[in-house]
Structure 1
Amino acid sequence: MSIKALLAGACSLFALSVAGASAETLTIATVNNGDMIRMQGLTEDFTKANPDITLQWVTLEENVLRQRVTTDIATKGGQFDVLTIGTYEVPIWAKQGWLVALDHLGADYDVDDLLPAIRSGISQDGKLYAAPFYGESSMIMYRKDLFEKAGITMPESPTWDFVADAARKLTDKASETYGICLRGKAGWGENMAFLTAMSNSFGARWFDESWKAQFDQPAWKATLDFYVDLMKDAGPPGASSNGFNENLALFNAGKCGMWIDATVAASFVTNPKESTVADKVGFALAPNTGKGKNANWLWAWNLAIPAGSQKVEAAEKFISWATSKHYTELVASKEGWANVPPGTRTSLYNNPEYQKAAPFAALTLASINSADPTHPTVDPVPYVGVQFVAIPEFQGIGTTVGQYFSAALAGQSTVDEALAQAQQYTTDEMTAAGYIK
């Protein structure tokens, strides 16, 4: 081998060693939802453009993710460089100084294109503290073929009484077809996300204006009685263990006549690669009781950087990529426009290709825009948040109340017992936290 060739080889090895020495590994904590799994499969697009950054994924079930991420950031554990967190956590953690403001997402990021309802929920004092990967409200997904067979027509904005009547008519337990699938798995972001939004439509609220718990009031009893009776008559067995992913699997297998859940599920239930009923799905607004509130929530899964991170620049590059217009176009090129992450950008809903590919687009946007975190209930409340209460204590309180309500659904307690437990526990916690004087 010539001296020239040896020198060239040595230079190459030196360059590789320098690159290796300067390479940064980002550890990303995320949820095991379909859009996040898809993102992991597309990250070669990012690493090709950023060869000095490698990605390490920690993918967890929703309740476990919340627990791990909350513990890590509160204790300054430093396990993660990028966090997947919700609309609930962002403003609370930003106020506590736990998150890095995202000031360097790039000139072409177009922050002003983010939907106002989504952007406001992840901002604090005018600064963005997380970037939305996808946004959602909730709506009804239903089987048009089963409705037609039963001679039922779904209105665009149905009442809960209509939904319950239809669910019972659609149920055929002999063929394992259930009229309705609803969340029952305990967790403040699982069954309590659904039940809090549902309770809003029944005229209930978590707290009155003096922060007194309201589970001893008639509206909460009406909500929980209606839910438990409906699921007993028309829901699948083992519903108290079912969250988003479990109900998605049931619906896609043709087991549910209706499913009321996150609008983000629309692309999964209409995808023939994933759903056996993809060509039979219709959509409607989340139900109401005529009190002026539909049972729809407002949420986004967002990417954020914990304060004190040593890899802020690399983390911000990744977050900018994953929540950009470029990423949306990448998913569209690989999976089709119907499967892009929804609910974050105005430009997506103005895109004729998306409107054509996603029959659920207009309803999703209408649901997101109609959810009002500052006026979530029929009667006045001292808190912000549609399907959650935006105070630090809610994470623990909501999960415990979710366990009481899941037990009532499973038949391990009565509705009255569950409500009494919720009232006592919530009152004790709010008194200890200083809200109730």
Structure 2
Amino acid sequence: MYLTNARRAATAIALVWGAAASAETITIATVNNGDMIRMQGLTADFTEQNPDIELEWVTLEENVLRQRVTQDIASNGGQFDVMTIGTYEVPIWAKNDWLVSLNDLPEEYDAEDLLPAIRDGLTVDGELYAAPFYGESSMVMYRTDLMEEAGMEMPEAPTWEFIEEAAAAMTDKDNEVYGICLRGKAGWGENMAFLTAMSNSFGARWFDMDWQPQFDSEAWATTLDTYLRLMNEYGPPGASNNGFNENLSLFQQGKCGMWIDATVAASFVTNPDDSTVADSVGFALAPDAGLGKRSNWLWAWTLAIPAGTDSEEAAKKFVQWATSKGYTELVAEEEGWANVPPGTRTSLYENQEYLDAAPFAQKTLESIQAADPTNPSVDEVPYTGVQFVAIPEFAGIGTLAGQEFSAALAGQQSAEEALEKAQALTADEMEAAGY
């Protein structure tokens, strides 16, 4: 009997090892944002459905992720089978034949349910090249208790003038409460995402119709002066090091009167498990300067598959799972409807359970639908993109300009010097690129 039991045990071990040996591993590069961290915690659902696929995660800070995946796909490095990329990269990389088309996802995936504003940005020549994990615009998140104490009422659609008045009224530096928190960390997708969207509302442009940089314009001077004044007088110390995640933490700790940033943050600032001010958060549209353009952007963090992967079918199964209606329902079941990935599907904004649970839902949808990538600023521009310029060179020049503006915020140079340097370096890069 002992030998029989031993043989059975050996057979079971062999079967386990055989299954492990035959499992296909896919490597997923993603950003360290809250929704992606939550996804990693729920992937047992995927592996139970797909026991022949193992998942390996590479989770990186936003700027580092962008650098790593761009280097890998441009060199055909093959490190990743699924990449977390955004609305900026997808059309550029698709035109370079760097991405696998997702047009063959099964009918039950229901690609037609994707919000048109989000889907259109991920589609080239009728082919969908990335699946949106969440979509976002930007809006004002604010402390309703501090606004009330200041004797003020946030409008549904505030101006920058009102924002500055409210920031002054809510600032209490002795108690580490700052009237406003904004991105200061350098990066084309960090401080320049915010500043580019802000500049649109002041009538600024990256380029005129002849592709000449416009940092020497009065509109850019007004944008940067306003931003630096807000941050220097009413913002937290060390703001030049703060990006999305750092400001999220500050707001959750009750240290920001207002925070203007991605709509996706709303579920995290209203979650009592994470936020000390969850019961006193209000929402408003991103500010304007009275010129007809608000400072809201348009973005989606997406899952895409690099061309040349050896695990295309397994990668597609994961992408389908992570961006499906079923995944939304899984998050709702595990974490509550308010915490599902927002901004990707029409059906979510027709779901009364979600609308009841998420006080920010309507503002998010309104902000996404109001952003116009084809007409982002007051004056005509030769490019598309709201908080970015949809050309390959933008990642480089956006980061360089962001470094200059971050240095100005840190007090290392004046606004005028930062704008002069941004103008010169952008002109040099664009001339070298042949524009």
TM over 0.5: yes
Code of the residue aligned with 1:114 in structure 2: it is L
For the residue of structure 2 that corresponds to 1:134, the secondary structure is strand
Partner residue of 1:254? 254
C-alpha distance in 2 between matches for 1:60 and 1:411? 29
**Alpha-carbon distance between aligned partners in 2 of 1:292 and 1:79, rounded to the nearest angstrom:** 45
> Following the alignment from structure 2 to structure 1, what is the Cα–Cα distance between the partners of residues 194 and 81?
30
Q: Separation in 1 of the partners of 2:18 and 2:249?
A: 47
Report how far residue 107 of structure 1 moved. Answer: 2.5
Shift of 1:14: 5.7
Alignment of 1:291-302 (within 5 A): 291-302=291-302
Question: In 2, distance between residues paired with 1:17 and 1:412?
Answer: 59
Structure 1 match to 2:63: 63
Aligned partner letter, 1:166: A
Gaps of 5+ in 1: none
CA distance in 2, matches of 1:424, 1:408: 16
Asked if structure 2 preserves the Cα contact closer than 8 Å seen for 1:180 and 1:259, the reply is yes
Deviations 1:409-428 (A, max 9, x none): 11100000000000000000
Q: Cα offset for 1:103?
A: 3.0
Q: Match for 1:320: what amino acid?
A: Q
**Please, which moves more after superposition, 229-238 or 14-23?**
14-23
Cα distance, 1:229–1:6 mapped onto 2, change above 3 Å: closer
Cα shift readout 1:290-316 (whole Å, capped 9, x = no counterpart): 111100000000001111000000000
2:226 alignment partner, SS class: helix
List aligned pairs for 1:342-357, cutoff 5 A.
342-357=342-357
Q: Cα deviations across residues 4-26 of structure 1 (Å, max 9, x unaligned)?
A: 87887676556445433321111
What amino acid is aligned across from residue 160 of structure 1 in structure 2? W
| 1:76 and 2:41 correspond | no
**Partner in structure 2 of residue 174 of structure 1:** 174
The 3-state SS of whatever aligns with 1:282 is strand
**Match in the other structure for 1:118:** 118
Whole-Å separation in 2 of the counterparts to 1:417 and 1:195? 17
Instruction: Please report the TM-score for the alignment, with normalisation by the length of structure 1.
Output: 0.97
Q: State the alpha-carbon separation in 2 of the partners of residues 9 and 126 from structure 1.
A: 54
Partner Cα separation in structure 1 for residue 61 and residue 6 of structure 2: 52
CA distance in 2: counterparts of 1:425 and 1:233, whole angstroms: 29
Measure, in 1, the Cα distance between the counterparts of 2:14 and 2:168. Answer: 71
Matched position secondary structure for 2:359: coil
1:223 maps to what in 2?
Answer: 223
Q: How does 1:293-332 map to 2 (within 5 A)?
A: 293-332=293-332
Letter in 2 for 1:49: Q
SS at the partner of 1:184? coil
CA distance in 1, matches of 2:171, 2:303: 40
1:85 aligns with 2:85: yes
Are 1:420 and 2:420 an aligned pair? yes
* Offset of residue 187 of structure 1: 0.2
Deviations 1:233-252 (A, max 9, x none): 11011111100000001000
In structure 1, the partner of 2:360 is: 360
In the alignment, the residues of structure 1 paired with residue 168 and residue 206 of structure 2 have an alpha-carbon distance, to the nearest angstrom, of: 29
Aligned partner letter, 1:247: N
Q: Distance in 2 between matches of 1:322 and 1:22?
A: 23
| CA deviation profile, 1:215-248 (whole Å, cap 9, x unmatched) | 0010000000111011111101111110000000
Equivalence for 1:274: 274
2:392 matched residue in structure 1: 392
Aligned residue for 1:243?
A: 243
1:165 maps to what in 2?
165
2:317 maps to amino acid: K
Taking the TM superposition and a 5 Å limit, the aligned residue runs for 1:15-94 are 15-94=15-94
Tell me the SS of whatever aligns to 2:108: coil
Contact 1:104 1:316 in 2 (8 A): no
**Equivalent residue letter for 1:395:** A
State the Cα distance separating 1:102 from its structure 2 match. 1.1
Q: Is 1:410 matched with 2:410?
A: yes
**Which residue identity is paired with 1:188?**
W
How far did 1:55 drift? 0.6
Per-residue CA deviation, residues 364-403 of structure 1 (Å, 9 max, x unaligned), is 0000000010111110111010000000000000000000
- Most deviating of 18-27 and 413-422: 18-27
Deviations 1:88-108 (A, max 9, x none): 000000000111111332231
Instruction: Please state how far the C-alpha of 1:169 moved relative to its aligned partner.
Output: 1.1
TM-score with structure 2 length normalisation?
A: 0.98
> Which has the higher mean CA deviation after the structures are superposed, 127-136 or 96-105?
96-105
SS of the aligned residue for 1:257 comes to: strand
Tell me which stretches of 4 or more aligned residues in structure 1 moved more than 2 Å: 1-22, 103-107
CA shift, 1:87, in A, is 0.5
1:152 and 2:116 matched? no
- SS at structure 2 position matched to 1:108: helix
**1:186 match:** 186
**In 1, Cα distance between the equivalents of 2:3 and 2:377?**
79
CA distance in 2 between partners of 1:10 and 1:165 (Å): 74
Correspondence for 2:381: 381
What is the total number of aligned residue pairs between the two structures? 435
Q: Structure 2 counterpart of 1:398, which letter?
A: G
Is the contact between residue 143 and residue 257 of structure 1 (CA under 8 Å) also seen in structure 2?
Answer: yes
Tell me if the contact between 1:87 and 1:301 (Cα under 8 Å) persists in the aligned partners: yes
Shift of 1:191: 0.1
Q: Confirm whether residue 204 of structure 1 aligns to residue 204 of structure 2.
A: yes
State the shift of 1:212 in Å: 0.3
Question: What amino acid is the match of 1:383?
Answer: Y
Distance 2:11 2:145 in 1: 67
Pair 13,175 (structure 1): closer, same or farther in 2 beyond 3 Å: closer
Corresponding residue number in structure 2 for 1:289: 289
Give distance in 1, aligned partners of 2:10 and 2:252.
56
